[in-house]
Amino acid sequence: DKRTKKIVALSTITQNVDTLHSKAGSRHVLHLHGRGDVVKCMTCAHTLDRKLYHEKLRDWNRDWIIEESKDNVEKEDQRLRPDGDAEWNGSYEELVLPPCDRCGSHGDMESCNNLHAENGLENIKNANQQPFYKTDVVFFGDSVPRHRVHLSNAAVDAADGLLCIGTSLAVHSAFRLAKRAIGRGVPVAILNVGETRLEREGLGVGTGNEDGAISKSLVTKVESPIGPTLREVVNILERMEEL
């Protein structure tokens, strides 16, 4: 007997910016809120690996780093925190921001040294008005780039089902995808501990009217810890594959 296997394509839409899905080997990953390992020019949108930018930032500001570190490096409140950030009470006035490689114009590291040497402060302020890089993530108050909105909408529209894992859907950029799926008749499953925005707004429970009944039939909520639940799902799938 010939068995026909259904081809399943899994698209992952993540709100995280740590790229761990890609590092773990997932394919078809859309980083909805950007990537923390990339910086982007705020003028021309040219991108650069964040580590390379850090190296350039360090090389362009070696004297500043030495001077500012003398009295600050051992202070308890300025040590590196688990999230990678640190408070710094020193002065940033003489910190030179390396310009965009594509559209910036204040030159190379030798030019940077001249900025420090020739009454640097005013020159540095002027130089830092050049096109500069920013981490390519969507910060609070920012909007998700339009092309990512279109890609995420297309993934939901093409889906047989939407699985929301470990999210309260409080952020609108994620909530609207679940809401879109329900509106198009796509079943939604939620694996999360605690109430989600979908439930709070009445889209995950019956309300007695027609819309509520439709929503209830489309939404499945699993109130369970993510790790143990997903491990058991994998075990079940592996057993099914052996049959």
- Residues with active-site annotation: 33
CA gap 28, 83 in Å, rounded? 27
CA 53, 46, 80 angle in degrees (round to 5)?
Answer: 30
Kindly list the distances between the CA atom of residue 204 and the CA atoms of 56, 177, 179, in Å, as whole numbers in the listed order: 49, 14, 10
List the helix and strand counts (H, then E) for the chain: 10, 8
Residue owning tokens 């710094």: 88
Closest CA to 137 of 14, 34, 44: 34
Kindly list the distances between the CA atom of residue 100 and the CA atoms of 27, 125, 147, in Å, as whole numbers in the listed order: 30, 16, 23
Q: 54: which 2 tokens?
A: 């850090």
CA gap 111, 141 in Å, rounded? 35
Q: What is the DSSP letter of 96?
A: P
